[in-house]
Amino acid sequence: MSDQGYANELRSEQDYVDGLYARLDAERARVKGRYSETLTVRGNATVMVERDAEARALAKESARLGVADNGLCFGRLDRETGEHTYIGRIGIYDESNEFEPLLQDWRAPASQAFYTATAASPEQMRRRRQFHTRGRQVMDFTDEVFGRPGDGERGDAALLAAVDAPRGEGMRDIVATIQAEQDRIIRLDHPGTLVIEGGPGTGKTVVALHRVAYLLYTQREQMERNGVLVVGPNTAFLRHIGRVLPSLGETNVVFTTTADLLPGLHAAGEDEPEPARLKGSLQILDVLKAAVADRQRVPEQPVTIELPDVTVRVGADVADWARSEARESGLPHNLARATFVEVLTWALTERAIARIGEGWLTRADREAWENMRADLRAELAEHDGFTALLDELWPTLTPESVLAELLSSPDRLRAAGADDALWRADGEAWTVSDVPLLDELIDLLGRDTSVEDAAAERERKAQAAYAEEVLDLLVNRADHMDDEDHLFATDMLYGEDLAERFLERDTRELAERAAADRDWTYRHIVVDEAQELSAMEWRVLMRRCPSHSFTVVGDLAQRRSAAGATSWAEMLDTYVPGRWLYRSLTVNYRTPAEIMAVAAAVLADFAPDVTPPESVRACGVQPWGRQLSPAEMPAAIEEFVRDEAGREGTSIVIGPPGMPGAVPASETKGLEFDAVLVVEPEHILADGPRGAAELYVALTRATQRLGVLHEGPLPPALSGLYTSK
């Protein structure tokens, strides 16, 4: 194509994109106007509730349209028939035609060839054109002409431009540069669990997020009803990926870590490998059940309860009977307490009646027997000594109290059949490994909601009474209201109906409601760095997604947790046997070949059976190493930070835990930076297999430049580093 021809084509494409933006602006104005109407509507309660739901839907649509303002259209697909389709972030239609889009949503079936067509398999396509945009401006475009190599064909120019670009504050979507192997995974039609494994830089996280966007597009109604949960390794990682789905117009998503799976609780600590392994194993379930059963006791010596007319004794026999009945009820501990109390009360009452009525009551005196029985039950219920005994034999428990007392008491650990390695002095210093145990205990203990239910009923009645007063006032003032504002009692029905309508309204967005509700169940869950999750953590997540619809993302070679997965089958066959698929990503889009060669040597040392991903590019900059004295180390780190501050992009210093000015490798999982400085790699390696995995992670965070500072000799695996003085 000549320069003039290119200029004419660029101008034509800009004109079309301008038209798309004009249509987008018109639709945004329409939605905004309709939204304003819903906020000013005046009418009866039913209309107000309906309009509130409409306003929420319009606000969501406005947000969807808003994210498309930048880079709305990023390409064009030309068919062999001469027809062409423009591909973009969202679908845009002409007002007069709801079936032929002006712009095809990237997730639509008609867009798939834009990502999958190749010279060898063009899928009846003649050309793929990719735009480079800035805001609303089309800066330039590249063409890939299928079947005619060299005729303007530039292949992966758009991809290479994207991976070479400086990194910003957060992960970017790849909607314009999705590769064929990625697209096949994104669009995979599988209702169960999908495992996406790939080495560093293969894009597995961003592929998983685009898969969520695709599922929300193709299964909108089902997915939006319950939302999506994304689980990541740490909050820094979640911040890093947090803008991807909103940039694709999807917001019904909750982001969390395994440390924050229980609303209101954050676990900051991390166990040593052995306690973490024990807590992560499913065998801990027996320990928890035994710990709860240990709190269901019988008195060692008979306990005397003195009532006004008789003295009763609670011995091991009657308490054991009540305990057996409560356990056989199948109810959780706190709910089974009612059975324990009922059986024990009945047994004591019957014994007392027999003693009191002996000699003067006959079987015919049924009314006297019933009155005496009722009196005795009331006396027992109000007896402080009996209440205290019930609390001792079958106490109401909380998950926190059970676990804290278990972990801090060698006696309780032994009684529950647990390993002494679980003991710690401060039982309430919650670690990440404690979260699934606390979650399990919620189900083992159950929640007695009778007090909360009674309070809610009182509030409901109070609201109903208030609503009745409001209705009476409005009806009495009807003569003073114009026709538009006239409100009749028939519009409201009854005050109780009105109160219930407004009590039931929850104005929070779905993601906010889901994050605050431990019992919320999601339609789909994404688990990143999934190789780190223990069997108990998987149990928690499976409980939160009954359909077991998961996208599982990980790399077994990067596992550092002693409780993590050594194989995907080991973890998943327990929950979804025969319902999970495995897909792998093999191309490294992040790490240049020069850096990957260094990281691959480390990988070969601790995971020789794992093939490192193949880098899609080289950067021309060799990674370097420098040996320094302890006194020289701080100045060298400062020099790196200072130099990188003057460059475009991001940088980080990674070192062993506790090193001043450095971040542990575990906190950088899933992140990427233009430049990385790894300090004291030999100290990172000193942590055994976990240390080797962490060094591998540290070395594969860089997209452009990698440096290594060390005091002692370099580990043999890093001998290939260029030595800098």
Q: Give pLDDT, residue 365.
A: 66
Edge-to-edge order in the sheet of strand 228-232: 253-257, 228-232, 524-527, 550-554, 193-198, 580-585
Please state, in angstroms and rounded to a whole number, the distance separating the CA atoms of residues 501 and 534. 44
Above 80 in pLDDT, residue 572?
Answer: yes
Mind giving me the DSSP string for 624-689?
EEEE--TTTHHHHHHHHHHHHHTSSS-EEEEESTT-TT-EEGGGGTT--EEEEEEE-HHHHHTTHH
Q: Cβ of 248: how many Cβ atoms within 10 Å? A: 24
What residues contact residue 142 under an 8 Å CB cut-off, 6+ apart?
Answer: 129, 130, 132, 154, 157, 158
pTM of the model: 0.85
- The answer, yes or no, to whether residue 137 has pLDDT greater than 60, is yes
Instruction: Please check the confidence at residue 242 and state whether its pLDDT lies above 60.
Output: yes
Dihedral of the alpha carbons of 26, 29, 31, 32, in degrees to the nearest 10: 170
Picking from 135-149, 215-229, 659-673, 704-718, which range would have the lowest pLDDT averaged per residue?
Answer: 135-149
- Residue 562, both tokens: 């002693």
The chain-wide mean pLDDT, for the chain, equals 87
pLDDT given at position 163: 80
CA distance 715 to 725: 18
More confident: 29 or 152: 29
**Tokens coding 302:** 């008979």
C-alpha distance from residue 386 to each of 305, 378, 429, 572 (Å): 7, 11, 34, 49
Beta bridge partners, 198, equal 585
d(CA 470, CA 402): 48
Give the pLDDT confidence score for residue 364 in this predicted structure.
Answer: 60
Spatial contact of 650 and 673, defined as CB atoms under 8 Å apart: yes
pLDDT surpasses 70 at 457: no
Task: Return the percentage of the chain with pLDDT > 70, whole number.
Answer: 86
More confident residue, 363 or 217: 217
> Is the confidence at residue 79, as pLDDT, over 60?
yes
Do 217 and 107 touch, CB atoms closer than 8 A? yes
Q: Which residue has the higher pLDDT, 505 or 545?
A: 545
Q: How far apart are CA 102 and CA 89, in angstroms?
A: 12
Given a contact cutoff of 8 angstroms between Cβ atoms, the answer to whether 406 and 418 are in contact is: yes
Task: Tell me the one-letter amino acid at 230.
Answer: V
How far CA 683 is from CA of 555, 666, 694, 713, in Å, comes to: 23, 14, 11, 11
Least confident of 31-40, 198-207, 292-301, 472-481: 472-481
Strands 651-655 and 673-679: parallel
How distant is the alpha carbon of residue 346 from its chain centre? 48
Q: What is the pLDDT of residue 153?
A: 43
- φ, ψ dihedrals at 139, nearest 5°: -80, -45
Does residue 67 or residue 105 have the better pLDDT? 105
> Taking 90 as the threshold, does the pLDDT of residue 98 lie above it?
no
Parallel/antiparallel/unpaired status of strands 84-88 and 73-79: antiparallel
What pLDDT does 496 receive?
59
Which tens digits make up the pLDDT trace of 628-638? 999 999 999 99
Q: What pLDDT does residue 60 have?
A: 77
Residue 234 predicted with pLDDT over 60? yes
What pLDDT score was predicted for residue 516? 93
- pLDDT tens-digit map of 636-680: 999 999 999 999 999 999 999 889 889 999 899 989 999 999 999
pLDDT at residue 498, rounded to an integer: 54
- Chain segment 246-302, per-residue pLDDT in tens: 888 888 899 999 999 999 999 988 999 999 999 999 999 999 999 999 999 999 999
Instruction: Write down the pLDDT at residue 50.
Output: 56
The answer to whether 285 touches 462, Cβ cutoff 8 Å, is no
pLDDT of res. 151? 45
Distance CA 366, CA 363 (A): 7
Instruction: State residue 491's pLDDT score.
Output: 52
Strands in 113-199 per DSSP E: 125-134, 137-145, 193-198
Q: Looking at per-residue confidence, does 546 or 501 come out higher?
A: 546
Q: Quote the pLDDT of residue 63.
A: 78
Task: Give all strands (DSSP E) within 290-426, no chain letters.
Answer: 303-306, 311-314
pLDDT score at 107? 95
Provide, rounded to the nearest whole percent, the portion of the chain with pLDDT above 90. 65
Nearest to 707 by CA among 645, 644, 656: 644
pLDDT per residue as tens digits for the range 368-419: 778 888 999 999 999 999 999 999 999 999 999 999 999 999 999 999 999 9
pLDDT of residue 425: 87
Mean pLDDT of 117-140: 90
Res. 485: pLDDT tops 80? no
In the predicted structure, residue 606 carries a pLDDT above the cut 80: yes
Tens of pLDDT, residues 494-536: 555 555 555 555 667 888 999 999 999 999 999 999 999 999 9
The answer to whether the beta carbons of residues 601 and 718 sit under 8 Å apart is yes
